[in-house]
């Protein structure tokens, strides 16, 4: 009986811990809204923002940020990811020429990416009007 109870408790704990990762945030904009003229590498990273893995979403946001103004088409999708802070992940960060592991989330990485993309996003919005 004790063994069954222990196994049940362990399974319940695994289910609860895994459940945190099941409810994942995605960009608010549907995937079909990715424009056809978006550069292939930017489009690939935007599609990764829809992953069920928080690590993939955070890494995709990070990659888009590294692209800078070239990734301006990704800005609306990154905006939809800002609230994704439930799943904390660890990503490598190059700090002062040495590799450091940093706790982050897809939402935090989306914030950083939007800051790197910069003002060109606002010009992008005005151009669409």
- Sequence-ordered alpha helix ranges (H) in the chain: 2-22, 40-48, 54-67, 75-79, 106-117, 120-128
* pLDDT for the residue 40: 94
Instruction: Specify the number of domains making up the chain.
Output: 1
List pLDDT tens digits, range 56-105.
Answer: 999 999 999 999 989 999 998 999 899 898 667 676 666 555 666 778 89
Please give the residue range of the domain that contains residue 88: 2-128
* pLDDT for the residue 48: 95
Q: What is the pTM of this model?
A: 0.69
């Amino acid at each position: 009986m004790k063994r069954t109870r222990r196994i049940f408790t362990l399974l319940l704990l695994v289910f609860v811990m895994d459940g945190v990762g099941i409810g994942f945030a995605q960009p608010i904009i549907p995937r079909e809204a990715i424009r056809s003229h978006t550069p292939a590498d930017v489009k690939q990273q935007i599609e990764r923002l829809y992953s069920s893995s928080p690590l993939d979403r955070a890494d995709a946001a990070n990659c888009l940020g590294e692209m800078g103004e070239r990734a301006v088409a990704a800005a609306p999708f990154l905006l939809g990811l800002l609230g994704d802070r439930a799943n904390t992940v660890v990503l490598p960060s190059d700090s002062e020429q040495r590799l450091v592991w940093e706790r982050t989330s897809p939402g935090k990485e989306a914030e950083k990416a939007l800051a790197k993309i910069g003002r060109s996003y606002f010009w992008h919005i005005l151009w669409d009007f």
